[in-house]
Structure 1
Amino acid sequence: MKKFGQFLLVSALSAALLAGCGGSKKAESSTAGSSEAKTESTVAGSQKLKVVTTIFPEYDWAKAVLGDKAENAELTLLLKNGVDLHSFQPSAEDIAKISEADLFIYVGGESDGWVDDALKEAKNKNMKVINLMETLGDKAKEEEMKEGMQESEDEHDHDHGKEVSTFEDSEVKDRTLADWKGDWQSAYPLAKSGALDAAFKEKAEKTGKMTAEEYKAYYTKGYETDIAKINIDGDTISFTDESGKTVKSPYKYVGTYIQNWSTGTKAAMYRFEAEDKNSGAPIYVEFNDHMIEPATAEHFHIRFSNESFDAIKDPENSWPTFYPAALTGEEVADELAGHDHHEETEYDEHVWLSLKNAELYVNKIAEDLSALDTANAESYKKNAEAYNKELSELDTQYADVVKNATNKYLLFGDRFPFRYLVDDYGLDYSAAFVGCSADTEASFETVRFLADKVDEKKLGSILVIENSDQKIANTIQQNTKEKNQKILVLDSMQSVTEKNMADGETYLGVMKKNLEVLKQALQ
């Protein structure tokens, strides 16, 4: 699915470039001068400053800084139709607007992976760019996995990795054995020997769901198999058991099976049948590696039977797992723990939900607009100062509400994009998912944990973000003792629409509404 998104981006870039090739060479050279030349011609002449923003808070901040000089600018918001930042893909028109922008403002988190390619193709080489994450610098916070949160990593838990838990059946694509080619080793002897103990310890510390010993017992049972090695070469699979005996057969692909798990999620099983049924090799074999389309596997789960696919027993409790044979036990433990050496630190990208951060960004926008339009620099500076005064006053109101609250704990039956906000005021929280999670179904364990927290903290409310179907929150509520908690909505401004803006919605307005919600939640 990432490959498809990349294809769309490349197509959009190509279309944007073609659309931009219609001008004359003279016109092109007139925009290729220094940034100072650009500054003088932008406002003094008929050409307007072109400011492009990705999300609503950036747009509203820029609008506030421009103030009564907004007539000198063409201000564009890309995510204006209720599209969530995490699923946004730019159109050819979006790419073209960015390409010619004088100032481009974007978040700079994982969801903005498409921006680098867009900027490489920009026509305006003197463009000023504000990356919110970079502007925040070392104040950016790593994504936080709190106790009780639903795992979104490639932790087994019945094959419910992030890639396989939310797909539509129609999205599953056929695959060949080439996706699993090579030499593989069973994780079972590694688990028994203690080679994976470090991973089990890390999981225990990270999730709080089981002890390290319980994780070891769980995985050892799931990994159990008498097959020690597997080799896949072309259409042939070779199986070597613990004694060193090898059997093999060519296999033919017979299709996929969608496995529905007891927790409400599912996985795609890729099935192959032995062509030599007298070879001693398993006749009916199915692979699962958390993917639903052609991709090179990093590890896989395999199950088999000599009777039929339907005879494969207890798939929720038996999932023999194989890793590349070249990996050491320590490297397999790293993979299992979910932090291989190629993985970058993931930062929480919801930086706009801190009023303190907003002041920093408003100053940066004023600075860059002033550099682009020196004639109105003093106006931009004054507008920023006036707006930041309002931000500071609202920040003080938030601090006072928290200071006077009897409860300083929030519980979200949803994903949680408010870490910057709660950290600003020393609040604690629990949530079903991290802020960027794509998951929509919470496990029984997560629901039970959150319901118990509601009872333990004697909470009168459960929070969700805007546009939530409130299904998880309602399930949590029904599993509490009182079953009478209010469901409150805290707005993260991730899906603002043109209608919202036409109705007068502003960043400050939303944050003021959120303060009123916070007052109720902290009672």
Structure 2
Amino acid sequence: MKKITAILTSAVIIISSLCGCTSAPAEDSGKIKVISTIFPYYDFARAVCGDKAEVSMLVSPASEIHSFDPSPSDIIAIQECDIFLYTGGENDVWIDKILESMDSDVRAIKLMDTVELSEEKLAEGMEHDHDDNHDHDEISYDDHIWTSPLNAITITEVITDALCEVDNENAEIYRTNCKAYTDEIKRVDEEILQITTAAENKTLVFGDRFPMLYFTERYGLDYRAAFEGCSTETDCSAATMAYLIDYIRENDIKAVYTIENSNQNIARALNEQTGAEILTIQSCQSISKEDFENGETYVSLMERNADALRKGLN
């Protein structure tokens, strides 16, 4: 709460100062500006826009979204963009507050409002997040909505609609690009569906936090994990470790999964005790610097997930 208060105080000062700014504006390309908080929405917008808009991302590659602290330049960028894309979950509380304080024409799209949400679930054996400040009588929804390719398609179409409204001159290009990219998402979705449908084992064990609820729901998979999706924990209790070891052994689990940018400490311990192979599932919430520089996309990262499932479920 102190962090949010500090951010809001800074935002008010920064936004107020903009109103009285008399310096010459920076050279403008004339293109609309789209800003996303995280990689998935950046990638969807990039694919749809092509070279017709400037698309940028607030959270840098390999950064941890759960500890992200917006800079003054980030707040100014949000104020000055045409379309702002964000999830709207517990990590984005600061965004809602900042948007309320802005007098701007920015079209802010809270993407949790565009798809059907699933409640957060505490799987058997999973540790409860010690930093969880939720009222436990209050329903808490998982905010990793993009991990289902079906949601990714919906989100891409929502972004396309917004682009067409803001920049109708290029609407036909946006629609064409949207169709091409969502067809690619449908292709990888069908590939993963075929793998999971044919698999005898339909349980994923994560020696890590678990941000893949919508993904597992899409493909009818069960899961066990050390931590919830937004947990900041890195070391699990002896009880959780013992539970996961026993579960892997008793159910003949061939692989233990981690997510991108993980330290893999828990997965390595599980591997040492059970022999289960360590495989990586891409949540796409963050992307490594190398992958970003190499032009990896949501689709290419989901193709990696297809390969990991092909190995781990057979």
Give the deviation of 1:499 after TM superposition.
4.3
1:433-452 alignment, distance < 5 Å: 433-452=227-246
1:202-241 alignment, distance < 5 Å: none
Query: Do the aligned partners of 2:33 and 2:54 also contact (CA within 8 Å) in 1?
Result: yes
Tell me what 1:513 maps to.
Answer: 304
Residues 477 and 81 of structure 1: CA distance in aligned 2, closer, same or farther (over 3 Å): closer
Residues 353 and 518 of structure 1: CA distance in aligned 2, closer, same or farther (over 3 Å): same
1:160-309 alignment, distance < 5 Å: 161-162=130-131
Tell me what 2:123 maps to.
Answer: 146
Give the deviation of 1:497 after TM superposition.
4.7
Q: Which among 63, 88, 95 is matched to residue 46 of structure 2? A: 63
Higher helix share: 2
Paired AA for residue 110 in structure 2: N
Give the deviation of 1:500 after TM superposition.
2.9
Query: Do the aligned partners of 1:488 and 1:517 also contact (CA within 8 Å) in 2?
Result: yes
Distance 1:20 1:512 in 2: 47
Distance 2:99 2:126 in 1: 36
Give the deviation of 1:344 after TM superposition.
3.3
| Structure-1-length-normalised TM-score | 0.57
Tell me what 1:219 maps to.
Answer: none
1:461-476 alignment, distance < 5 Å: 461-476=255-270
| Structure-2-length-normalised TM-score | 0.92
CA displacement 1:364-396 (0-9 Å, x = unmatched): 111110001111111111111111111111111
Tell me what 2:183 maps to.
Answer: 389
Give the deviation of 1:59 after TM superposition.
0.6
Q: Which among 71, 83, 108 is matched to residue 91 of structure 1? A: 71
CA displacement 1:472-518 (0-9 Å, x = unmatched): 12223344xxx321111111123325543221111111111111011
Runs of 5+ consecutive residues of structure 1 not aligned to the other structure: 28-44, 153-160, 164-289, 291-337
Any runs of at least 4 consecutive aligned residues in structure 1 with deviations exceeding 4 A, and if so which?
none
3-state DSSP class of the match of 1:113?
A: helix
Query: Do the aligned partners of 2:85 and 2:108 also contact (CA within 8 Å) in 1?
Result: yes
Q: Which among 101, 104, 110 is matched to residue 131 of structure 1? A: 110
Give the deviation of 1:83 after TM superposition.
1.8
Paired AA for residue 494 in structure 1: Q
3-state DSSP class of the match of 1:352?
A: helix
Query: Do the aligned partners of 1:149 and 1:431 also contact (CA within 8 Å) in 2?
Result: yes
Distance 1:81 1:57 in 2: 12
Give the deviation of 1:19 after TM superposition.
4.3
Paired AA for residue 122 in structure 1: M
Tell me what 2:253 maps to.
Answer: 459
Runs of 5+ consecutive residues of structure 2 not aligned to the other structure: none
3-state DSSP class of the match of 2:280?
A: strand
Residues 498 and 95 of structure 1: CA distance in aligned 2, closer, same or farther (over 3 Å): farther
1:432 is the counterpart of 2:248: no
Residues 46 and 86 of structure 1: CA distance in aligned 2, closer, same or farther (over 3 Å): closer
Paired AA for residue 436 in structure 1: C
Q: Which among 90, 96, 114 is matched to residue 116 of structure 1? A: 96
CA RMSD after TM alignment: 2.1
Query: Do the aligned partners of 1:62 and 1:365 also contact (CA within 8 Å) in 2?
Result: yes
Higher strand share: 1
